[in-house]
Amino acid sequence: MAALTNKRILLAVRPEGMPKPTDFRSDEAPVPAPKEGEVLLRVLYLSLDPYLRGRMSAAKSYAQSVEIGHVMEGGTVAEVLDSRHKDYAKGDVVLSYSGWQTHAISDGKDLRKLDPAAAPVTTALGILGMPGFTAYAGLLTIGKPKPGETVVVAAASGPVGSGVGQIAKIKGARAVGIAGGRAKCDFVVKELGFDACLDHHAPDLAEQLKAACPGGIDVYFENVGGHVWDAVFPLLNEFARIPVCGLIAQYNRTPPYPGPDRLPVMMREVLSRSLHIRGFIQREFADQRPAFYQEMGQWIREGRVKYREDIIEGLDRAPEGLIGLLQGKNFGKLVVKVQ
């Protein structure tokens, strides 16, 4: 095989607040040959997700930070270029965790073979991948929506939020979305079938949300934090469940989101309304993945779950893509077509 060049994007500087393009740098490196038990991958698609902001920080979180000078992490869809692993053959398309680079070596442990005939392979990064599974496991295991209850989720046009609302509808609940701008809200109601969707830029968001949830809120799937949480909190019913999978509105605040001094008030309400707040990472529910692939795959085939992708071209655009994602500029699951 001819010598290949691996184009890579590295973390250059730990961002303060919102990341800047100069927090990243790119380089080129030779592509090593796979050793016995390894495969060489050619990355086709790179997933951009809010959690990557956490990996850029030194702060302790549920996963290790990316080291300065190392390749940025990320879920990817890749093609096997060369294999010395018994389970993978040249030409296989796999889900991998290869990060922001055009080529990678894997020992196979992080790979899952994809069937391009069953679903577009990009869905393995979105509705049929980690974000979709986050929605599925968090909503069904923690949120447990009952028929007639009201489920609220923000970033409702994104891969997690759209999954949450559509699964809530399948379970007989009302789904109220929150999204950035008219176009997203229209999509959420008209295409995804939510009962309502509110623009989080609206100065009267709290009042609009109250009007959209006349029976209060039974499940708030928390993926944004910030002022949406402020609007949601007073409307939470007794025994409300709050799965917490992300706080994107707070990731870029240094110091964090400057809400009023409400912690003691919050704990009083946790008590007086028997609230159930539960942070989670989808991998905790790994044993539910087979059920997820089966059920979500079927819901998509039946047209009961729809999804939207926002695909940008070229690895070089990954930094601007991630920055835009953190500002809510994407519309649907953000994926970089690497090559």
Binding site for a second copy (CB under 8 A): 54, 60-62, 222, 225, 229, 238-239, 244-247, 250, 253, 256-281, 284
Least Å distance between CB 264 and a second copy? 4
* Nearest residue (CB) to a second copy, 141 versus 339: 141
Of residues 92, 120, 124, 123, the one with CA closest to residue 106: 92
* Nearest residue (CB) to a second copy, 23 versus 222: 222
Least Å distance between CB 253 and a second copy? 8
Least Å distance between CB 284 and a second copy? 6
* Residues contacting 321, CB < 8 A, separation 6+: 48, 312, 330, 334, 336
Least Å distance between CB 42 and a second copy? 34
Contact 326, 52 (CB under 8 A): no
* Nearest residue (CB) to a second copy, 63 versus 89: 63
In a 3-state reduction of DSSP, which class is residue 119?
A: coil
Q: What is the CA angle 29-66-245, rounded to 5?
A: 135
Least Å distance between CB 18 and a second copy? 16
* Nearest residue (CB) to a second copy, 188 versus 242: 242
Of residues 66, 1, 75, the one with CA closest to residue 43: 75
* Nearest residue (CB) to a second copy, 18 versus 266: 266
* Residues contacting 76, CB < 8 A, separation 6+: 41, 43, 44, 45, 46, 47, 95, 96, 97, 98, 99, 104, 125, 338
- Residues linked to residue 219 through DSSP beta bridges, in sequence order: 151, 241
Least Å distance between CB 153 and a second copy? 15
* Nearest residue (CB) to a second copy, 182 versus 262: 262
Produce one character per residue of 127-161: b if its CB has 16 or more CB atoms within 10 Å, e if not: bbbbbbbbbbbbbbebbebeeebbbbbbbbbbbbb
Least Å distance between CB 222 and a second copy? 8
* Nearest residue (CB) to a second copy, 250 versus 339: 250
